[in-house]
Amino acid sequence: MELKLFSLKSVSVPKMVGTDMMMFSSPFTNSGLLIGCKEAAIQSFSCRVTFPKASYSSISQNTVRSVSGEDILFQSYPYRVNGTNGSNMYHRDARVLDAYDDEYNGVIVHSEGLPSNPNAFTSILRSSLSHWKAKGKKGVWLKLPITKSEFVPIAVKEGFQYHHAEREYVMMTYWIPEEPCLLPSNASHQVGVGSFVINEKNEVLVVQEKYCATGLTGLWKIPTGFILESEEIFTGAVREVKEETGIDSEFVEVIAFRHAHNVAFEKSDLFFICMLRPLSTKIMVDDHEIQAAKWMPLVEFVKQPSIQEDTMFKKIIDICIARMGKCYCGLAVHQLASKFDGRLSSLYFNIVEDKSSNCRAS
């Protein structure tokens, strides 16, 4: 029960759970919010905000707290059940939008409580902002479903900015104080995986892309792709191999990862190179995207000019060879629970105590 309660609560704290855990502090503390908020503020500066960089360090407890407003939006019931702050309640005033106060002096508009017509929305949004300003509120979160898209320009006219959007909604925010906006940013990274599947004969599972630039026709490469929403790195690596080649495999280790920036929509990219152990041998090519797949002797694979001529690719192959020679320590995955968010999550590290570990350091 305690775990459940933690889980509900922690899931609801935007951008804070992951760090909170490693901070050795609980999602119930403000510390995670504080750091997350500060970081978010800095991220904002590096986007388009014109506040002086110095100012993001002038964080007050109140401004910080509004970061957690979001959680009520998505997790209102557990939040309210767990909440210790009596201020968690609806505004009943007809001139004020149906909204929650969060525990941190922020306001979260209740999407389901939005009026149906634009004129009504215009006037109630205005009176709501005056009301919240008068009450010394900080951040306002307004989630507009796509069915209410006509409210977007109205909110913009009143000073709201876009925060993030998913297919079915746009999240808008309004920062009331004069001081710099300290609301958190949206996700910053995409995550890809590459799978080195190497059998006992030192043969690498390689594929040829169906749609390939002329210069690279005939190049043999490892299976790769992006992990799915909420997918584990180790399952994504196995899935990609199965989809492209029909080969069953098991994850062994993350042997390296690459960090690149300004890749997609000005976001960053983390790419995890995984070593996998094959569990089957018969290749069945996915003919939608793959021209051919085969087991290729490592030596031949490395000989390919596109690899020999590229510093990074060459280095990655060197690492794989070192790993195969038990002269390298990759990161294995372990599912561990933490009482601070009551959930299992994946921790990638060397198997320190495990005798079968290839890390023979002593």
Residues 251 and 254: their CA atoms lie apart, in Å, by 8
Minimum CB distance to a copy of itself, residue 38 (Å): 7
Nearer CB in complex with a copy of itself: 178/353: 353
Minimum CB distance to a copy of itself, residue 84 (Å): 10
Minimum CB distance to a copy of itself, residue 218 (Å): 11
Using the rule CB under 8 A, is 243 a contact of a copy of itself? yes
Using the rule CB under 8 A, is 303 a contact of a copy of itself? no
The encoded tokens of residue 304 equal 């390919």
Nearer CB in complex with a copy of itself: 67/96: 67
Using the rule CB under 8 A, is 64 a contact of a copy of itself? yes
Minimum CB distance to a copy of itself, residue 130 (Å): 22
Q: Which position among 8, 35, 96, 276 is part of the footprint of a copy of itself (CB under 8 A)?
A: 35
The encoded tokens of residue 152 equal 């977007």
Minimum CB distance to a copy of itself, residue 134 (Å): 25
| Residues 82-141 contacting a copy of itself, CB under 8 A | none
Using the rule CB under 8 A, is 57 a contact of a copy of itself? yes
With contacts defined by CB under 8 A, name the span among 89-97, 107-115, 125-133, 262-270 that binds a copy of itself.
262-270
User: Which residues have CB under 8 Å from 218's CB, separation 6+?
Assistant: 208
With contacts defined by CB under 8 A, name the span among 128-136, 197-205, 292-300, 351-359 that binds a copy of itself.
351-359
Instruction: Read off φ and ψ for residue 223, nearest 5 degrees.
Output: -65, 135
| Residues 134-193 contacting a copy of itself, CB under 8 A | 146, 149-150, 152-153, 156, 161-171, 184-192
Q: Which position among 8, 9, 17, 106 is part of the footprint of a copy of itself (CB under 8 A)?
A: 17
Q: Which position among 120, 212, 279, 284 is part of the footprint of a copy of itself (CB under 8 A)?
A: 212
Nearer CB in complex with a copy of itself: 282/288: 288
Instruction: Read off φ and ψ for residue 241, nearest 5 degrees.
Output: -60, -45
Nearer CB in complex with a copy of itself: 95/258: 258
What is residue 254's three-state secondary structure? strand
Kindly tell me the burial class for residue 128, based on how many C-beta atoms sit within 10 Å of its own C-beta (0-12, 13-18, 19 or more).
buried
Buried b (16+ CB within 10 A) or exposed e, 227-257: beeeebbbebbbbbbbebbebbbebbbbbbb
Residues 298 and 121: their CA atoms lie apart, in Å, by 65
Contact criterion met (CB below 8 Å) for 141 and 103: no
Nearer CB in complex with a copy of itself: 131/195: 195
Contact criterion met (CB below 8 Å) for 126 and 115: no
Angle between helices 2-11 and 69-82 (to 10 degrees): 160
Using the rule CB under 8 A, is 285 a contact of a copy of itself? no
Using the rule CB under 8 A, is 296 a contact of a copy of itself? no
With contacts defined by CB under 8 A, name the span among 33-41, 90-98, 125-133, 277-285 that binds a copy of itself.
33-41
Minimum CB distance to a copy of itself, residue 308 (Å): 11
Nearer CB in complex with a copy of itself: 95/146: 146
Task: Answer positive or negative: Cα dihedral of 139, 144, 149, 151.
Answer: negative
Q: How many residues bind a copy of itself (CB under 8 A)?
A: 146
Strands 169-175 and 161-166: antiparallel
Q: Which position among 11, 283, 292, 324 is part of the footprint of a copy of itself (CB under 8 A)?
A: 11
- For the CA atoms of 129, 134, 138, 141, what is the dihedral angle to 10 degrees? -20
Q: Which of 287, 203, 274, 182 is nearest to 245 (CA)?
A: 287
Using the rule CB under 8 A, is 226 a contact of a copy of itself? yes
The encoded tokens of residue 261 equal 């920036």
